[in-house]
Amino acid sequence: MLSLAAMEPTVVISINASWNVVNFRAGLIAALRERGWRVVALSPADAWSPRLAGIGAEHVPIAIDSAGLSPLRDLALLLRYRRALRRIRPDAFLGFTAKPNVWGSLAARSLGIPVVNNISGLGTAFLAGGPLRRIVTGLYRLALRRSATVFFQNPEDRDLFVAAGIVPRGRTRLLPGSGVDLARFRPPEQARAPGPFAFLLAGRLLWQKGVREYVEAARIVRRAMPEARFRLLGFLDAANRSAVGRGEVAAWQAEGLIDYLGEADDVRPHLAAADCLVLPSWREGLPRSLLEGAAMARPLIASDVPGCRQVVEHGVNGLLCAPRDAAALAGAMLAMIGLGEAERAAMGAAGRARVERDYDEKRVADAYLEALDGLVSRR
């Protein structure tokens, strides 16, 4: 008698951190399970791994050195992927983040497993340019050339990959980021408690997220508005070459520039306590933090870069400013403070309407289910 697992089609989701699976892919996993898929998360073991069972995914740990550049370590990762996928024998492989997209895809293809990729952002290598970018471009070209579908989160990233000959346009599709759970992220029922105007930057604490610009802008704004608050929420010591160090954060706190809130399992109370959500990123796929802030009817400030400009419509649901420019960011912050409460509330309402129209996470799940249904029918 066949086991239930043997009768179910199996899909592997591979990401460079279990917390990423839990926080960004729970809706997708729920939709896959409802459609009858067995879901296996192939990700590093971390504090979030035990939660995978609670969202419907089996966990198979795999060590991934996300920040490493060693060819030998990457070759070892390729072999680890082959061993794991040979044991699991999935019907499809879904890759997210750089190393799973490259080495996981190559391993899956070598075993005849169909691949669907998600390019959720270009990462440090593309932002840095130079020889590293050329190497990564070549690896992506090799890894993605036979993928069944490659999802992108904004048209500019897709155009870059197509122009570089990494993937044919006909095998690409656009997604509304990772979407947002509109029932979970909704406008607070009660108004924010009175207090100084509070900005919030929420996300992984990486230099490329614009953390330095945020802190420098805080220094500028506080000269005119010393009571304004600048909050920082997110992981420290991320496995990324662009990670902000604890020493820098401690120094900013000692100077009185920012309030570091640590990391949080649930960001909603922090979003509700903020007057404006800020993301001065250098480039994004399509930032979840902005979607969540908009869903909770918070006005936004973001850099005028790919990914951010897809979410923020200048003057409608927030303000855009020049990237990597602390003075421009400070100007946008002062302009936001200068708006009346009614104008900021109108921006928040416009943001909520925008995510309801374009960024419901159900649209992401439907796109994946359609792609996977096509793969299974061809096998």
- pLDDT of res. 73: 83
CB 311 within 8 A of CB 225: no
Residue 91's region, left for phi above 0, alpha for psi from -120 to 50, else beta, is alpha
Give the CATH number of the domain where residue 208 resides. 3.40.50.2000
Q: Tell me whether residue 108 is in a domain.
A: yes
How many domains does the chain contain in total? 2
Do 370 and 343 fall into the same domain? no
Q: Average pLDDT, stretch 235-239?
A: 72
Q: What is the pTM of this model?
A: 0.89
Do 304 and 203 fall into the same domain? yes
Q: Average pLDDT, stretch 226-250?
A: 87
**Residue 84, pLDDT above cutoff 50:** yes
- pLDDT of res. 237: 67
Pick from 171, 189, 193, 278: nearest CA to 234: 278
Residue 185 in tokens: 């992220």
Q: Provide the residue range defining the domain that includes 221.
A: 198-358
Do 109 and 251 fall into the same domain? no
Residue 144 CA to residue 147 CA, distance in Å, equals 5
**Residue 67, pLDDT above cutoff 60:** yes
**Residue-wise pLDDT tens digits, 364-378:** 999 999 999 877 755
Q: Tell me whether residue 187 is in a domain.
A: no
Q: Tell me whether residue 354 is in a domain.
A: yes
**Residue-wise pLDDT tens digits, 301-318:** 999 999 999 999 999 999
